[in-house]
Amino acid sequence: MSASRKSISHRALVAAAALLGSLAAQRALAQSANMTFFVTSAGPGKGADLGGLQGADKHCAALAAAAGATARTWRAYLSTQAAEGKPAVNARDRIGRGPWQNAKGVVIAKDVADLHSASNNLTKQTSLSEKGEVINGRGDTPNRHDALTGSQPDGTAFAAGDDRTCRNWTSSTEGSAMVGHIDRIGLRDDDASKSWNSSHPSRGPEGGCSQADLRSTGGDGLFYCFAAN
């Protein structure tokens, strides 16, 4: 084969590869545009201080927008406890009616009742980030499987008293946060360690709300985001 023909062949291969890459990117973007659920790929970086519910919702919206899912109203799956004359807020009441699907188009729950039942489809392989990536869990380094929720298994807030929301998501120094496990194993939540939204309170050398505290027990300040419309 002459040098000119080799050059043309090489250019054709490069062009074909570029076209395939472009088509793959377009398909991924189209899937993300239809995404209605994800786990944050990263938290704001201040531990459980998310700037309250409003700050957490903004973080969900920013990550979704970066992934191409802009035509949604995003809500963080977080409860708050009654404090300073304000009533509690239940995570389950913030997230719309469903159904919800991840960045790959897989439905994780058809409605609120299904989400909080044993039949939901939340596992390590389906609880993906807004980028469509699996979150590190048990056996991975680092383990990042704790998701902040501040919630009981049915998605409701804890009674006032013991702090389970790091001062309603405004503190990185005081309190603790109830977390769930993103890499839930099995299809039953009778064992709390398997619960996607209510496994154990955070804890650490500084209390339970700093970024270091969350990382010390398998977290990283991540949380769930749902499209409420």
3-class state of residue 4 by DSSP: helix
**25: which residues sit within 8 A by CB, 6+ positions away?**
none
104: alpha, beta or left? (left if phi > 0; alpha if psi -120 to 50): alpha
Q: Where are the beta strands (DSSP E) in 52-206?
A: 74-76, 100-101, 107-109, 146-148, 178-181, 200-201
Q: How do the residues of the chain divide into helix, strand and coil, expressed in percent and rounded to 5?
A: 30, 20, 55
CA distances from 128 to 7, 38, 102, 124 (A): 42, 6, 6, 8
**What are the structure tokens assigned to 49, written together?**
């201080």
For residue 163, the 8-state DSSP code is -
Under 8 Å between Cβ of 198 and 156: no
List of residues 6+ apart from 158 with CB closer than 8 A: 79, 81, 88, 150, 151, 152, 164, 165, 178
In this predicted model, what pLDDT tens digit does every residue of 146-193 receive, in sequence order? Answer: 999 999 999 999 999 999 999 999 999 999 999 999 998 654 445 656
CATH number 3.10.100.10 is the correct assignment for the domain at 34-227: yes
Model's pTM, two decimal places? 0.85
For the chain, domain boundaries: 34-227
pLDDT in tens, the chain (229 residues): 566 555 556 565 555 554 554 434 444 444 567 999 999 999 999 999 999 999 999 999 999 999 999 889 999 999 999 999 999 999 999 999 999 999 999 999 999 999 999 999 999 999 999 999 999 999 999 999 999 999 999 999 999 999 999 999 999 999 999 999 999 865 444 565 679 999 999 998 778 999 999 999 999 999 999 999 9
DSSP conformational letter for 48: T
